[in-house]
């Protein structure tokens, strides 16, 4: 079992030397200085400002995923348009629809169609990407190690056509009821729910899964538009603790995967420490892993060079979604394969 100390991570991550510009801009927008220092290094000053402005002026893109196991997307579009909604298909998902316009009432989460399990609601399109990148086959054995509230878990089982088995695990007991409710509401049956720390799962389940979903608890630095407290919530010591836990959870995911299996790692963060750095540490720890470059080529690729971080060249084959470039919350997705 892979164990990582936060203090060791803190030593490996050399914190940023801030320019006067970054300090001034961090004060203007209300961020911790090290965050803006990163943006300046990764993007340059002009684009760093574009990123900060995108967080300030972001227009939400509420998205639904049609449950095509029970209804044809075209039929659902007609039903929702009759209620006053206007929808647009996502480029990378034919059964995912962005809400372009909606009536004063009902809200998209309060229609009869929603209650009958005909679709799942997201506040942003980005979370639809990891299950599509993973692309699990029907009849397979899959696990989502941090599954609540259930968006990715139910999506994976939908792609599997509700055939095979999906284990949906979460550490937080309080989140289990909402996880179960989404499976039941969407009329899915080929699932089991477990309740434990993801890092303990390999002890009980072994190296037995064809597909592993690893959407880890993170700083949510890509979702500042939804929660402005994230501008100052994660101090360097806090980030080191998160990174250590993320490395351990991804290590457990690798331990759950059988030879030939695929693992998708994702965060709603734009922090390279939580993304390319975590994947690099896992590639160092496991010599039977490789990154598979996703077929989707709609966003940016991973950063293989960030000042102060030691990164593996392979991480350039991961996906990066930037709010100011792609009009979505910040997201990171990496597809791994175990030999």
Does pLDDT of 231 surpass 90?
yes
pLDDT, position 147:
98
Does pLDDT of 14 surpass 80?
no
**Phi, psi (deg, nearest 5) at residue 239:** -65, -40
Residue 268 pLDDT class (50, 70, 90 cuts): very high
pTM confidence score: 0.97
pLDDT, position 130:
98
What is the rounded distance in angstroms from the CA atom of residue 229 to the CA atom of residue 239? Answer: 15
pLDDT, position 46:
98
- Please give the structure tokens belonging to residue 48: 């760093």
Q: Token pair 């500042």 is at which residue?
A: 224
Across the chain, what does the average pLDDT equal? 97
Does pLDDT of 303 surpass 90?
yes
Contact 291, 335 (CB under 8 A): yes
pLDDT in tens, 147-199: 999 999 999 999 999 999 999 999 999 999 999 999 999 999 999 999 999 99
- Please give the structure tokens belonging to residue 146: 């941090």
pLDDT in tens, 91-120: 999 999 999 999 999 999 999 999 999 999
Does pLDDT of 25 surpass 80?
yes
Q: SS3 sequence, the chain?
A: CCCCCHHHHHHHCCCCCCCHHHHHHHHHHCCCHHHHHHHHHHHCHHHHHHHHHHHHCCCCCCEEEECCCCCCHHHHHHHHHHCCCEEEEECCEEEEEEEEECCCCCCCCCCHHHHCCCEEEECCCHHHHHHHHHCCCCCCEEEECCCCCCHHHHHHHHHCCCCCEEEEEECCHHHHHHHHHHHHHCCCCCEEEEECCHHHHHHHHCCCEEEEEEECCCCCHHHCCCCHHHHCCCCHHHHHHHHHHHHHHHHHHHHHEEEEEEEEEEECCCCCCCCHHHHHHHHHHCCCEEECCCCCCCCEECCCCCCCCCCCHHHHHCEEECHHHHCCCCEEEEEEEEC
pLDDT, position 167:
98
pLDDT, position 55:
98
Whether 334 sits among the annotated catalytic residues: the reply is no
Catalytic residue among 18, 268, 318, 334: 268
Does pLDDT of 1 surpass 90?
no
What is the rounded distance in angstroms from the CA atom of residue 37 to the CA atom of residue 16? Answer: 6
Structural domains of the chain ordered from first start: 16-56 (no CATH), 63-122 (3.30.70.1170), 126-338 (3.40.50.150)
What is the rounded distance in angstroms from the CA atom of residue 6 to the CA atom of residue 241? Answer: 5
């Amino acid at each position: 079992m892979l164990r990582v100390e936060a203090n060791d991570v803190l030593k490996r991550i050399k914190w940023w030397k801030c320019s006067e510009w970054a300090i001034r801009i961090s004060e203007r927008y209300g961020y911790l200085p090290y965050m803006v220092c990163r943006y300046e290094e990764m993007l340059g000053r002009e684009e760093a400002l574009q990123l900060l402005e995108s967080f300030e002026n972001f227009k939400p893109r509420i998205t639904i995923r049609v449950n095509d196991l029970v209804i044809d997307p075209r039929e659902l579009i007609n039903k929702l348009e009759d209620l006053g909604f206007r929808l647009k298909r996502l480029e990378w998902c034919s059964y995912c629809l962005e809400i372009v316009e909606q009536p004063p009432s009902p809200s998209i989460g309060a229609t009869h169609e929603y209650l009958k399990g005909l679709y799942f609601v997201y506040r942003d399109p980005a979370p639809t990407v990891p299950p599509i990148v993973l692309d699990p086959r029907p009849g397979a054995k899959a696990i989502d190690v941090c599954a609540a509230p259930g968006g990715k878990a139910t999506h994976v089982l939908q792609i599997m056509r509700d055939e095979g088995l999906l284990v949906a695990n979460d550490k937080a007991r309080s989140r289990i009821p909402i996880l179960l409710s989404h499976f039941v509401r969407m009329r899915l049956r080929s699932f089991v729910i477990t309740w434990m720390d993801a890092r303990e799962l390999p002890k009980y389940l072994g190296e037995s899964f064809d597909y592993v979903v690893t959407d880890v608890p993170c700083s949510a630095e890509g979702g500042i538009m939804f929660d402005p407290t994230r501008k100052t919530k994660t101090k360097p010591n806090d980030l080191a603790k998160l990174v250590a836990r993320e490395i351990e959870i991804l290590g457990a995911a690798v331990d759950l995967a059988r030879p030939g299996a695929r693992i998708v790692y994702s965060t709603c963060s734009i922090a390279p420490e939580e993304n390319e750095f975590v994947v690099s540490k896992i590639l160092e720890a496991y010599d039977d892993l490789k990154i598979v470059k996703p077929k989707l080529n709609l966003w940016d690729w991973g950063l293989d060079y960030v000042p102060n971080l030691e990164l593996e060249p392979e991480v350039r084959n991961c996906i990066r979604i930037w709010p100011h470039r792609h009009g979505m919350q910040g997201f990171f997705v990496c597809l791994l394969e175990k030999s």
